[in-house]
Structure 1
Amino acid sequence: MPSHPAPMPAQKFLFHRPKLAASLADIVTGDAPIGAEPTLCLAAPRRTGKSTFLRHDLGPELENRGILSVYVDLWSDMAADPAHLIAEALKAELRRADSLPVKAARAVGLSKLGMGGVSVDIDRIGQAQGTTLADALEALLERTHKRIALLVDEAQHALTTEAGLNAMFALKAARDRLNTRDDARDGPNLMIVLTGSHRDKLSRLVLNRDQPFFGTSVRSFPLLDRAYTDAYTAWINARLAEGNRFDADDVFAAFDAVGRQPETLMRILSDAALLVGDAGDLKRALADGASELRQRVWDDYDNVWSGLTTLQQAVVERLAVEGPQSAPFSAPALQAYADMVGEVVEPPAVQAAIEALRQKNILWRSARGQYALDDQGMAEWLKVRAERVGKG
């Protein structure tokens, strides 16, 4: 009779990706043979390990090279303006860089500090008529005598407000200013790494000439692979009773089935580990857990879809196909809607459909009036759905 498995461990498993961190650090610092790319845009779905990688791998790798790494998550406070979050991160670094003078200044009611010839009012960073982000970054550069890497997680959220978009333009201006200084000959003084869980949204920062990082490519952030699940499986099995341990092949299959999301895999493994049985029971539990979670997501999409009008469905399908280049009010788009609806469709009707979809959190609108599907998983679901309908 197999023994009961031990409960899932409370300790946190952390998987490092040093080779990827070194490779990306080489690119932004200029240590790569191809020269520096001081702005990187990396896209991957949510909950696939981007934030963990930035904080625990890329940031430390840059710090080990003598570069000051500043991390800011634009989704850490969804109620806060993205521009405010960036400004607060820089304020914190300035205070950390010169904590004693800051305390002394506050003791006499002052907040303005002269740093290497650059004077900034730390309480007015990013505010109207206040210290610019470029000034704050240059002050940080002067004070720390370190090059700076700004790691902006979920950067696409900056597009939701005019202030957030302006903050992105301000970062671009700061990058150009700091990287044309005489002391930038050996490598960029300011490096910017932008990550996003929505490729289409992130692309809005780089695709058009009127966007802050025009010309920068959006790269796919590599998803975790078999190396991750093998390490995680070994870590878990060392904490489970013999006879109730997971097979590495089964764990990877489950991980792949749920979109390579570590938190989701952890939940499936935790549920499976509560079973009392043999290895075959665990194998079935893993496969069933992954299938159930995936089906639940697809059922949710199906329920949402069935609640839309035909025109709303047509708008969603058009955006899913066109991606960041979508023009929902163009003549070709209006014709595509008409073909699906079966009658002429005018722009006011499209606007009403779009507003309804925004209220349902299906469509996202930038501060500049650009649209995208809020959940890119729906685009994948639509693709599979179309294939099934075609086969049917």
Structure 2
Amino acid sequence: MPTEILYHRPALAQRLAKLIMQVAVGSAASSGVFLAAPRRTGKSTFAREDLRPALEAAGAIVLYADLWKDLTKDPGVVIVDAVRETIGRNQGYITRLAKASGMDKVTVGGLSFSLDKIGMGKDIDLTTALTALSDESRQMIVLMIDEAQHAITTDEGVAALFALKAARDELNSSKHHGLRVVCTGSNRDKLAMLRNSKDQAFFGAAMVPFPTLDRDFVEWFCTHVDLPQPLDPANVFVLFQESGYRPELLGAAADEIRFDLMLAPENVPERFAELVRAQAEELNANLKKVIHSLTPIQSAVIRVMSAKGEDYAPFEAPTMELYAKAMQRAGIDPAEIRVEVPGVQQALIALQEKKLVWKASRGVYAVDENVIVDLLRGDGLLEGLY
């Protein structure tokens, strides 16, 4: 019996699966496909529950690596583990790999051949492992990496991406059956760092804005929510838009109503609207508290970073001048403003610890979530900093 009723988008999944697996002149899918959408808008659920089955139905072997599931594990290890797990399911793959590593006889079960041999800097690199999987299965391989931007926060994660690039180039040759790498991420700017410059592993890969849940989802939600009084889909869709297209806020509001044994059925729609708006405001209020607790230099750094976006260069002279300008606009006496590199460095570390700023392994910084930029802009804190 299913533990949860899920909303499915089969038409979108089939369309994306076709584009991902397409072999055609001018198709960029072989370079990689990047799907960007804000956190908590249903992206990961769609990837696991809709896109993965659609790719498998289209004839692909799908490997799935969630880099956000266990943040204590290095992203590079998570990617390698996804390859090991798939290969470990089939004796044929293990046999081919064992022979590739120089073994004449194979004992399956880890006695003679261990999956630990697979990885970066191991006996069997990722290209060899994925080639064996391709040749043995005679199927296209699709590696889905959820929250892929997290890979470039560590050296091992970056190395894994370049190892996948090498594997992609080999498997997409005429000798094999193809490898597609599908990366999803919750921040477009961060995800773009994997494919915007020539020194990145997936330079030139397609960036696709992931469609938010729409009116069809709200209709489905209102049909299945099973509250004492029906909800009007038109009104709920307005609430859904206001709350950033986050389905969990609708679900949480519905749950609170279910356990409110004193609520009269006729008051359900009004109470539902109150609860959704209250939760959305609470999320933003908590974030605002963190922002308003920042020191003057920390506030200046996050504001300038938000204003500059992809053009943010933390220690360049014009940026240092903008920090001073931001502090002055916040009411700091110009005579007391001292902006120096060590102070900016400490501010960046503090902002990372507060989960407001994200850092790639090569020293590139970005605001952690777009909602932070929206809140700062809405409060007029980015004016004059562009």
TM-score bracket relative to the smaller structure: 0.7 to 0.9
Q: Is 1:297 the counterpart of 2:283 in the alignment? A: yes
Q: TM-score, normalised by structure 2?
A: 0.87
Kept in 2, the 8 Å contact 1:272–1:282? The answer is yes
Deviation, 1:148, is 0.5
- What's the CA shift for 1:131? 1.8
Inter-CA distance 107–182: structure 2 relative to 1 (3 Å threshold): closer
Matched, 1:288 2:274: yes
How far off is 1:97 after superposition? 2.6
User: Alpha-carbon deviations, 1:222-274, whole Å to 9, x = none?
Assistant: 1111101101211223xx45xx2222223222322222222221111111234
User: Aligned residue for 1:233?
Assistant: 222
Distance in 1 (CA, whole Å) between partners of 2:303 and 2:64 is 36
Structure 1 residue aligned with 2:115: 122
TM-aligned CA deviation for residue 196 of structure 1: 0.6
Q: Contact 2:29/2:206 (CA < 8 Å) preserved in 1?
A: no
Structure 2 counterpart of 1:251, from 223, 236, 239: 236
Distance (whole Å) between structure 2 residues aligned to residue 94 and residue 18 of structure 1: 28
Residue 3 (structure 1) aligns with: none
The letter of the residue matching 1:68 is: I
Normalised by the size of structure 1, how large is the TM-score?
A: 0.86
Alignment partner, residue 18 of structure 1 = 10
Give per-residue Cα distances to partners, 1:37-87, cap 9 Å, x unaligned: 121111111121111111121111111111111111111211111111111
Q: Identify the residue that residue 222 of structure 1 maps to in structure 2.
A: 211
Q: Residues 11, 131 of structure 1: CA spacing in aligned structure 2 closer, same or farther, 3 A cutoff?
A: closer
CA distance in 2, matches of 1:388, 1:315: 11
In structure 1, the gaps of 5 or more residues are: 1-9, 112-120
Deviation at 1:316?
0.3
**Secondary structure class of the residue paired with 2:89:** helix
Query: What is the identity, as a one-letter code, of the residue corresponding to 1:265?
Result: L
Q: Which residue of 2 aligns with 1:382?
A: 376
| Cα offset, 1:33, TM superposition | 8.2
Contact 2:171–2:179 (Cα < 8 Å) also in 1: yes
Distance 1:100 1:350 in 2: 51
Q: Identity percentage over the alignment?
A: 36
Aligned residues of 1:74 and 1:153 also touching (Cα < 8 A): yes
In the superposition, relative to structure 1, how do residues 214 and 317 fare at CA in structure 2: closer, same or farther (>3 Å)? Answer: same
Q: Secondary structure at the match of 1:182?
A: coil
Is 2:40 the partner of 1:58?
Answer: no
Counterpart of 1:179?
Answer: 172
Q: 1:163 to 1:250 in 2, by over 3 A?
A: same
Rounded Cα–Cα distance in structure 1 between residues aligned with 2:19 and 2:181: 11
Contact 2:307 2:382 in 1 (8 A): no
- Structure 2 spans left out of the alignment, 5+ residues: 99-105, 328-333
Deviations along 1:120-175, one digit per CA (max 9) or x if unpaired, are x6322214243211111111111211110111111111111100011011111111
Distance in structure 2 (CA, Å) of the matches to 1:107 and 1:280: 62
1:46/1:325 CA distance change after superposition, 3 Å: same
- What code does the residue aligned with 1:218 have? M
Q: Which residue of 2 aligns with 1:155?
A: 148
Going from structure 1 to structure 2, the CA distance change for 1:210 and 1:371 (only over 3 Å counts) comes to same
RMSD: 2.6
Cα distance, 1:352 vs structure 2: 2.0
- 1:27 matched residue in structure 2: 19
CA distance in 2, matches of 1:150, 1:134: 13
What secondary structure sits across from 2:196 in the alignment?
coil
Name the CA shift for 1:177/1:338 in 2 (closer, same or farther; >3 Å): same
Amino acid at match of 2:255: S
Q: Distance in 2 between matches of 1:290 and 1:12?
A: 21
Counterpart of 1:116? Answer: none
Please tell me whether the aligned partners of residues 126 and 132 of structure 1 are also in contact (alpha carbons under 8 angstroms).
yes
Establish whether residue 140 from structure 1 lines up as the match of residue 133 from structure 2.
yes
Give the residue type in structure 2 aligned to 1:214: F
Aligned-partner SS, 2:190: helix
Which one-letter code corresponds to 1:14 in the other structure? L
Distance across 1 between alignment mates of 2:28 and 2:196: 20
Partner residue in 2 for 1:323: 309
For the 8 Å contact 1:250–1:286, the answer to whether it is kept is no
Letter in 2 for 1:266: G
1:70 to 55, 59, 63: 63
How far does residue 183 in structure 1 lie from its aligned partner after superposition?
A: 4.4
Equivalent of residue 179 in structure 2, options 178, 181, 190: 190
The number of equivalent residue pairs is: 365
**Partners of 1:325 and 1:108 in 2: how far apart?**
50
Q: Distance in 1 between matches of 2:324 and 2:110?
A: 69
2-side partners of 1:86 and 1:308: how far apart? 36
Cα displacement (A) at 1:205: 0.6
Which residue in the other structure is 1:368 paired with?
362
* 1:91 lines up with 2:88 in the alignment: no
* Distance of 1:388 and 1:27 partners within structure 2: 39
